[in-house]
Structure 1
């Protein structure tokens, strides 16, 4: 791993948490991290595979208030970097052996960053009492340092000094501990399903079960249909050299657009149904208010 790759990945790790706190560009997500680190490491496919897997794993995981959660983004950063640079480490093994443990450990560093940030918060309170507006701005900006350093420092140390350890682990998982490596690969492949299960646990599935069945059926039909067409095209190309046409699989974007269209139809139908009900409710309230006003005794009448 080149020094400039370590530097760029470290800078990204420090900046992505600020994006999560204020900008919300989407590059701070696991799939965004896989995209960025994949480009830096020169293997975009591996980066997107790891990032998408981690993104699916945390679909149903959320925080409320000031709670901390597993940092799947930093887990994706290190898993992608090591999976590309370490010989013999598959993306699935990198997910289960690096991404998930790192994401869990980062909870403690996130708490440390929040705890350290209170120092600047108290300084801002002091500046407010003294009407020190420059101090408020300065300490507000300095408050970003604990957040950035809590991500940048661990990533730098891991990339700069942890490569030998990770290489030794990869060699062991491919050697005498191959049984464990196969288990980790299987676990890494099933993690996206766990994320889906958590998400479905909190979504109103019973209320919208028809859409769930429809989406599953459409996805299955299109996948089977276009997979068979692609297989047929590959067979024809192998049988005849003059056959140059290519058949691509059904892109998931098309399936997502169908889901988006159904969501729009459902939203419009919900709005159309809610509008008459709201108007009726307002009419009843006005009528009730008028009846109460008619029987009310004012001060003048007393």
Structure 2
């Protein structure tokens, strides 16, 4: 059950995160940070970071242009984390069943916030023409209030009155609708891949394929290294106690041939591109020089 003080803190944070996203840019208005703060307040930071990170990857390639509204991933992360912790819901289920739908629904409250802010903006313009600076300050801050309320009201209503609904959903997904719960868990695990796919759709991948391969290989190697820190620590302790035994019996393994081949291909492709560009530049310079001689 979500406590009243948790509802209060999360509601206040919902208003703060949209203002940070619009004005201060301290990264508090991001899905990862939202998961971190919500997990901290709910007492399960690991779940918050998992849902926040997954939501961040899900929207990785989603962008807005001009004044377009977009899904509110931060509030979706907040709601999904709060109910996942309080109801014992699987984080991936919470992401797919709560996080993404809530983020999509809050597009409409974002529109309402923008409409209200337009009203206060026109009021500020009128105050400037009249040089009424006191009223200008009031109308300016009312615009900020409208933005905050566009997040605080739906988050408060969901946290305060949605616990029973979420408990019922969790019970159903773990009972008669277990097949649906399994599907939502799989969908939640796939959402970050969708975010990467959207991002790669907009990036010049063909032009920079070598760097993409290098980045993928390096990330995979670093992931392996970080997951083996405990093993490496044990090996270091063994080295301190019996150097020869540790050296001959260590668990370090060489790189696979596929890893070496991918790195080699990426470096070779970069070398080829650089020299091809240099050759084209040389030919262009030669043609320009011949034209100058003819003149």
Question: So what's the TM-score if we normalise by structure 2?
Answer: 0.77
What's 1:215 paired with? 215
Give the distance between the partners of 1:229 and 1:32, measured in 2 at CA.
26
| SS in structure 1 at match of 2:61 | coil
What's 2:36 paired with? 35
CA distances 1:223-278 after superposition (whole Å, capped 9, x unpaired): 4466567569889x9xxxxxxxxx9xxxxxxxxxxxxxxxxxx9xxx9xx9xxx9x
Structure 2 portions without partners, runs of 5+:
238-250, 252-269, 282-287, 289-295
5 Å-filtered alignment, 1:75-224, equals 75-87=76-88, 89-224=89-224
Asked if residue 71 in structure 1 is aligned to residue 75 in structure 2, the reply is no
Offset, 1:219: 2.4
> Relative to structure 1, is the Cα distance of residues 225 and 22 closer, same or farther in structure 2, using a 3 angstrom cutoff?
closer
Question: So what's the TM-score if we normalise by structure 1?
Answer: 0.75
Give the distance between the partners of 1:170 and 1:226, measured in 2 at CA.
34
What's 1:263 paired with? none
> Relative to structure 1, is the Cα distance of residues 34 and 133 closer, same or farther in structure 2, using a 3 angstrom cutoff?
same
Provide the alpha-carbon RMSD of the alignment.
2.6
Structure 1 portions without partners, runs of 5+:
238-246, 248-265, 278-283, 285-302
Give the distance between the partners of 1:227 and 1:24, measured in 2 at CA.
32
| SS in structure 2 at match of 1:143 | helix
Give the distance between the partners of 1:234 and 1:56, measured in 2 at CA.
33
Offset, 1:129: 1.7
Give the distance between the partners of 2:164 and 2:157, measured in 1 at CA.
12
What's 1:46 paired with? 47
What's 1:21 paired with? 22
What's 1:61 paired with? 62
> Relative to structure 1, is the Cα distance of residues 7 and 205 closer, same or farther in structure 2, using a 3 angstrom cutoff?
same
Give the distance between the partners of 2:116 and 2:217, measured in 1 at CA.
50
What's 2:259 paired with? none
Give the distance between the partners of 2:76 and 2:85, measured in 1 at CA.
14
Give the distance between the partners of 1:143 and 1:206, measured in 2 at CA.
44
> Relative to structure 1, is the Cα distance of residues 206 and 40 closer, same or farther in structure 2, using a 3 angstrom cutoff?
same
The total of aligned residue pairs comes to 242
Give the distance between the partners of 1:170 and 1:26, measured in 2 at CA.
31
Structure 1 stretch 201-210 or stretch 36-45: which is displaced more?
A: 201-210
> Relative to structure 1, is the Cα distance of residues 231 and 181 closer, same or farther in structure 2, using a 3 angstrom cutoff?
farther
> Relative to structure 1, is the Cα distance of residues 20 and 229 closer, same or farther in structure 2, using a 3 angstrom cutoff?
closer
What's 1:255 paired with? none
5 Å-filtered alignment, 1:263-282, equals none
Give the distance between the partners of 2:14 and 2:46, measured in 1 at CA.
20
Give the distance between the partners of 1:195 and 1:12, measured in 2 at CA.
25
